Structure 1
Amino acid sequence: MLDVVETLTLALDGHRFPRHAHEHWSIAVIDRGGGSFRCSGAGHRFTSGSVTVLHPSEAHDGAAGPAGIRYRSFTVPEAMIKDMLGASGTPSFGNRVLQDDTAYTRLSRAHCALNGNHPDPWVDEIIVDALDHLFGAHASGGRGQASNGHPSVVAAVGRYVDERLDSPITLADLAAHLELSPAMLLRRFRAEAGMAPYEYVVSRRVDVARGLLACGVPIADVAVRVGFADQSHLTRHFKRVVGVTPGYYLRHPAVSRSFKTG
């Protein structure tokens, strides 16, 4: 199965991230400085040398510390993790900030490999080795269902949004699609994701915008394709969620690398 890992390097000074979520696993190695974030009802602090992990669609916010922060991140599709680990469900991390020198070193090597010119088979081996250690040493369990036993509302909303990314989407649209009342959808979505559906939709649009910009698509075209009203609308949300403007991101694109997991 062919999957894609996206890498990104950012250095930020005093930036505060609003509450948002990413479709895939979001993993980062902290190279300099530190900061904090909140997710799943708990606060977390990270420093240089630590590794942070966020589950797919997990609501979080955060802020760089007084000295700023430099970090390198990975966006890893859930399907790739399932294939790599041979798991039917999604593993779960009890700790979102890890002090693990081996994980930091292997993930750092993987980031360098993905941004370099290594032959594909070696890149595959390096990234799988890093992720296998990270998940094998720190993750357990699965998250295929919402905690109340209902099918995942977040997953259903995600599929709906992806199919209509360039169109306006309202709470009423989502509720009608899931055959729930708007109030019930709002309660269940917040209980499962820790954020409102609107915040999730904006996060998903920004995630897709990142990928298009990394491929060199002009900003104005990206705004239309991901459902923002115009370029300024995209820029406002993109800067809040990512920490830099689309223009900066276009000049310093993330590096995406496709590879096979088996």
Structure 2
Amino acid sequence: MLGWRITLLYRLETPVLTRFAMTNAWNYRRADRDDIVELASWRGAGSLGLRPHFHDESQIVLVLSGSRAFRIDGATITVPAGHAALIPAGMLHAPMPTPDQETVCLNAYVPASRAPSSLRIISIGARWRSVDEIMPEHILEIADDTLSHESSSSVGIVDRTKLGVALTDSLKPIGEIAAGFGRSREGFSRMVKRELGVAPHGFRLLARLNLARKLLRDGEPIAAVAADAGFSDQSHLTRLFRRTFGTTPGLYWRD
């Protein structure tokens, strides 16, 4: 299996081509354009189960064969082949292990403004005849096509944003932040768990992992990333990074 490689071609800037070699692991690549932050590919028997996490970017999951499954808001969401899932920035989701059928998947991480503010699953099967024809433009079309289906309601979005900002932009203890919302520590923790899907300290940890991911993309050495993102050492970052994103900082940084 590891010796069998399928290459997807992505036309990033005509006539430059970037190759994605997909094996039984997540492989991350930077996209040399402003409207896609990065791309990740998977090919293997089934897919990995990972810890619940969120991204600062909106995530577009293109399933080309097999299937992907996620645990979101207490429900299992399955994305079959020929479909895409649009996971908004900040939405907690837990990738679930899938059966041992061969799965080929592409993740695209795009600026939050390029995708809807609510979870979407749409059919993409007719958009191309083969995987070799997929281009970033197709990915962005999928994001744009969903915008017209967005509800005009934004109930809850502001509150969730305020909670996330309060937890990540301040080093204050949770109790002090809770007081700023007029809540006890326990009441604030319940509100955060209800609105963000994870306890305050867990949210802060995930935000630090996302910061580490950004610093790695910017080319900062791993040891410095661990320190700057608030981890005790490089091994601490590596352990949590692998459990959350399905690869190590070393492999991610090298790509």
2:162 aligned residue: 156
2:162 pairs with 1:112: no
**What is the CA–CA distance in structure 2 between the aligned matches of 1:143 and 1:221, rounded to whole Å?**
42
**What is the CA–CA distance in structure 1 between the aligned matches of 2:202 and 2:88, rounded to whole Å?**
16
Which aligned pairs between 1:99-248 and structure 2 lie closer than 5 A?
A: 99-102=123-126, 105=128, 112-113=135-136, 128-136=140-148, 139-142=149-152, 144-146=154-156, 151-152=158-159, 154-164=160-170, 170-248=173-251
Give the CA deviation at 1:217. Answer: 0.9
- State the 4+ residue runs in structure 1 displaced beyond 6 angstroms: 108-111
In structure 1, stretches of 5+ residues that fail to align are 82-89, 114-122, 253-262
1:44 aligned residue: 77
- Aligned residue-pair number: 219
**What is the CA–CA distance in structure 1 between the aligned matches of 2:151 and 2:39, rounded to whole Å?**
28
2:19 aligned residue: none
* Paired-residue identity, %: 25
Equivalent pair of 2:216/2:252 in contact (CA under 8 Å): yes
1:232/1:173 CA distance change after superposition, 3 Å: farther
**What is the CA–CA distance in structure 1 between the aligned matches of 2:75 and 2:224, rounded to whole Å?**
38
Deviations 1:20-51 (A, max 9, x none): 22233221112333231111221112233221
Read off the aligned partner of 2:36 and give its amino acid letter. V
Give the CA deviation at 1:170. Answer: 4.5
**What is the CA–CA distance in structure 1 between the aligned matches of 2:139 and 2:80, rounded to whole Å?**
23
1:191/1:162 CA distance change after superposition, 3 Å: closer
Equivalent pair of 1:25/1:54 in contact (CA under 8 Å): yes
SS in 1 for 2:52: strand
**What is the CA–CA distance in structure 2 between the aligned matches of 1:110 and 1:178, rounded to whole Å?**
50
Equivalent pair of 1:157/1:174 in contact (CA under 8 Å): no
Give the CA deviation at 1:158. Answer: 2.3
TM-score scaled by structure 2?
Answer: 0.72
Selected match of 2:107 from 73, 77, 81: 73
**What is the CA–CA distance in structure 2 between the aligned matches of 1:128 and 1:48, rounded to whole Å?**
19
**What is the CA–CA distance in structure 1 between the aligned matches of 2:102 and 2:199, rounded to whole Å?**
29
1:161/1:51 CA distance change after superposition, 3 Å: same
**What is the CA–CA distance in structure 2 between the aligned matches of 1:128 and 1:10, rounded to whole Å?**
17
1:97 aligned residue: 121
Which protein has greater RCO, CA pairs closer than 8 Å, 6+ apart?
Answer: 1
Give the CA deviation at 1:91. Answer: 4.2
Moved more, 222-231 or 236-245: 222-231
Equivalent pair of 2:37/2:111 in contact (CA under 8 Å): no
Supply the RMSD in Å over aligned alpha carbons.
3.1
1:170/1:233 CA distance change after superposition, 3 Å: farther
Read off the aligned partner of 1:76 and give its amino acid letter. V
TM-score scaled by structure 1?
Answer: 0.70
